[in-house]
Amino acid sequence: MATIRLGDIAPNFTAKSTEGNINFHEWLGNNWGILFSHPADYTPVCTTELGTVAKYKSEFEKRNVKVVALSVDGLESHHDWVKDINETQNTTVNFPIIADEDRKVSELYDMIHPNADEKATVRSVFVIGDDKKVKLIITYPASTGRNFDELLRVIDSLQLTAYHKVATPANWNNGDDCVVSPSIATADIPKHFTKGFKEIKPYLRMTPQPNLN
């Protein structure tokens, strides 16, 4: 069984989906991506999750993020399930759902945890950067629905810290102050951050979010 760690290149694959065949790396292009799995079609929590993602698609697009879901059921089942999602969640599913009947992708990404369920996938989430590297991995049990506001918050942090020498503190939200990277000497902070900074401890320096006007 493959083990994927942060910083690894996300494994490429080809698969059938509700929006046609997908070559994962080609489909991502220069975008960031979210790949997330569901235990099965026609399950109540998954239905609410996919409906939520459809409603949040514009927020993901603002962040240059493409979203793709996965379930181990077949394509015909997916298409029928989408009708239920659209009806019950008052939305229109606007992203592909991979049909992983042979569990090829699920096994490639270690989405099946036998101690939880020998056949169904757990609620895995992989955030993948525009360099095709895995930036975040979260695993939820089948019984717990995901918080997509939290995923947006994490993506904001990942994209900010990828391009600026900062980290984000506990409970950070877009617009809040950031932690100056320990790699920057205090004397050099003004050269990197023109909005100023506050030294709380020599190792804990805060500065306004650098990519906001």
> Catalytic residue numbers?
46
Q: Are the beta carbons of 25 and 12 closer than 8 angstroms?
A: yes
CA dist., res. 2 & res. 70, Å (int) = 18
Residue 165 is classified by DSSP as S
State the angle between helix axes of 44-62 and 148-163 in degrees (0 to 180), rounded to the nearest 10: 30
Q: How far apart are CA 69 and CA 164, in angstroms?
A: 30
- Within 55-133, strands assigned E span 65-71, 97-99, 123-128
Please tell me the number of Cα atoms within 13 Å of 183 on its side-chain side.
5
Residues contacting residue 87 through CB under 8 Å, at least 6 positions apart: none
In this structure, are residues 168 and 212 in contact, taking their beta carbons and an 8 Å threshold?
no
**147 phi/psi in degrees, rounded to 5:** -100, 105
